[in-house]
Amino acid sequence: MTTTTGSSTGTSTGTATTAGAKAHARAQEAAHRGRVTTMPTVPASAWLDPPQGVAPKDLVHAEVVAGGGYTHLVVARGTHVRLTDVAGDACAHVLAYRADRPWERLNVADTVKVQWQVYLTTGHLLLSDAGRVLASVVGDTSGRQDALYGTTTRARNEQRYGDGSPQGASPAGRELFALAAAKHGLSRRDLPPSISFFQGVRIDAEGRPHFEGSAGPRRELTIRAEAPLILLVANTAHPLDPRPEFTSTPLEVLAWKGRAADESDPLWTATPEGRRAFANTVADLTARGIA
């Protein structure tokens, strides 16, 4: 059926030709300009509210990820990436890979084991499966995180919410990760356990988990890339969230140029384990001509 130009019900006389389709698409872009809040800002330097002390020209990525959405970015060594829980119910599930060798990736088990700490906050490191530092946590105003329970699966979300597909009303984190990974030539077999921020889990003396939820809106977490990284971020409900309704609100993702840690950085010498991990990282990057 042919409808009148401007209808939202399929084909129209205005889009029956290439020229008409082009005009329609550009009219839609103009109509939505300034009203779409969950998409990247291009260029990133046009972001209206850069972090304090960061020049707009140094921003390399600026985006708001909708609840139930995902993003992915490649960042250089030294880049700072800030995640912000805009409205108080985001949950940032994060995976990290070496951009120059993506088979080296975040190992959550080693991250907590090597540092003797399951609650990761400012001053802690995200370690790879090769014992090297992928990123450092350099800022955290939330204090809510989980390094134990990973993200949600399609089967779990279908059972709980009735849908777990990535395009559905309650997308599973693993499905979103699969889409993000595919943008970098990675597949489901390349998805290890993830870490999540802004929805906390605490373990009691008997080993039972307790979901803490969010610390509130506008809480931030900033990581610094200590190697060139691929970052995958899925913004979806935490697997232990007890609420019967799927709940996920926007997540702000900003990245800007910076410097990686060196031997003068307090994090470098904070612990013997961290010092060894940093030394391993720089030795490898130097051998590859990156550091």
Domain boundaries, the chain: 58-287
- Distance from the Cα of residue 144 to its chain's centroid: 15
3-state SS class at 82: strand
Answer yes or no: are the C-beta atoms of 188 and 166 closer than 8 Å: no
> Distance between CA atoms of 160 and 164, rounded to whole angstroms?
9
Can you give the pLDDT at residue 28?
Answer: 57
Q: How far apart are CA 178 and CA 165, in angstroms?
A: 11
Integer angstrom CA distances of residue 23 from 5, 6, 15, 34: 11, 11, 8, 19
Predicted local distance difference test score (pLDDT) of residue 25: 65
* Lookup: tokens for 25: 């698409």
One digit per residue, the tens of pLDDT, for the chain of length 291 reads 333 333 333 444 567 788 877 776 666 555 544 445 678 999 999 999 999 999 999 999 999 999 999 999 999 999 999 999 999 999 999 999 999 999 999 999 999 999 999 999 999 999 999 999 999 999 999 999 999 999 999 999 999 999 999 999 999 999 999 999 999 999 999 999 999 999 999 999 999 999 999 999 999 999 999 999 999 999 999 999 999 999 999 999 999 999 999 999 999 999 999 999 999 999 999 999 988
Q: How far is CA 255 from CA 55, 58, 99, 223, in A?
A: 12, 9, 16, 9
Res 2: pLDDT: 34
Helix or strand or coil: residue 276?
Answer: helix
CB 223 within 8 A of CB 60: no
| Burial label, 111 (beta-carbon count in 10 A; 0-12, 13-18, 19+) | buried
- Structure confidence at residue 4 (pLDDT): 33
What token pair was written down for 166? 């990535």
The pLDDT score that the predictor gives to residue 24 is 67
Q: Which two tokens stand for residue 38?
A: 């969950």
Q: Check if the beta carbon of residue 77 is closer than 8 Å to that of residue 243.
A: no
Long-range contacts of 272-279 (CB under 8 A, 24+ apart): 273/114, 273/115, 273/116, 274/115, 274/125, 274/133, 276/131, 277/114, 277/125, 277/127, 277/131, 277/132, 277/133, 278/133, 278/226
Calculate the alpha carbon distances from 250 to 38, 71, 92, 253 in Å. 8, 12, 10, 10
Residue 6: its pLDDT value, please? 38
